[in-house]
Amino acid sequence: MDFQWYPGHMTKAKRMMQENMKLIDIMIELVDARIPLSSRNPDIDQLAANKSRLILLNKTDMADERVTAQWEEYFKEKGFYVARTNARSGKGVKGTQAIVMDACKEKLERDRKRGIKNRPIRAMIAGIPNVGKSTFINSLVGKACTKTGNKPGVTKGKQWIKLNKNIELLDTPGILWPKFEDQQVGLRLALIGSIRDEILNQDEMAIELIEYLKNHYQGILADRYQADENEDKVKILEQIALNRNCKMKGNELDYEKASKIVLEEFRNGKLGKISLETPEEGTKEA
């Protein structure tokens, strides 16, 4: 599968981030805990050079706890502040305010020495489509101040949000990079729903997911779909179609329907806590 996707509004969003970078003290970057490296926008490192940085590993309730701990260490070693969040349930969300204050303590001290008091910390929050950014902001503020949706790219323009007297937040539209150098990154993003399903081949995606589960999470396919994991990935999809009664007219197996079931159940957490990359795999590919 060849992933190329860069709508015009994303070019505009990147330009807007560039223009607003001088106004902010800290960049908060939301990533999906199941694919922390693949769901990072590489442009942000360049855009936010010399700013304090906070990585939020969101959707930790859906990721493999052991792998999430590895990612936490990985980002801390690179000099980032790191926190785990689950925006939907609100877990870990409020605690991010204290981390922002801690990350900006040197800036606050410089202000104090200059006699500047009560100037709020200004944070920019960024994340690629569908990592849960709007849900996170709503949970943080405590009311629906940004529009949320399951489809990628709901946030359209710039919004300043006052959290309290100490912190102001600049929301940005979710942006992706112009092209995926590594097709595996594109595949992982597609699997978590950051690229619109309509433009992709769902059978191929499901087959790749089956292969990954077979190699990294043995027993899940057997338990959930009564599939024989010793078979190859195409045969396993066939077994899932058979066992879930995915059939078309003439009693032919409906592979597309079976593929949708596998993808949806992965995205809904019904297959369990699964991470699609480890620091070792992700950095090897990078």
Q: Dihedral of CA 211/217/220/222: which sign? A: positive
- The reply, when asked if residue 59 is annotated as ligand binding, is yes
Helix H or strand E encompassing 18: helix 8-20
The pTM assigned to this predicted structure is 0.86
132 annotated ligand-binding residue: yes
- The verdict on whether residue 133 carries a ligand-binding annotation is yes
Cβ-Cβ contacts under 8 Å for 62 (sequence gap 6 or more): 33, 34, 269, 273, 274
| 81 CB-side CA count, 13 A | 19
Residue 58 is assigned to a ligand binding site: yes
134 is in an annotated binding site: yes
Residue 174, annotated as binding a ligand = yes
Residues of the chain with pLDDT below 50 are 147-156, 286
pLDDT at 283: 61
pLDDT score, position 9? 60
Taken in order of first residue, the domains within the chain and their CATH numbers are 8-171 (3.40.50.300), 201-285 (1.10.1580.10)
61 labeled part of a ligand binding site? yes
Any known ligand binding at 278?
no
Alpha-carbon distance 215 to 5, whole Å?
29
pLDDT, residue 177, reads: 62
Q: What is the pLDDT of residues 229-250, one digit of tens each?
A: 999 999 999 999 999 999 998 8
* Average confidence score pLDDT of the chain: 86
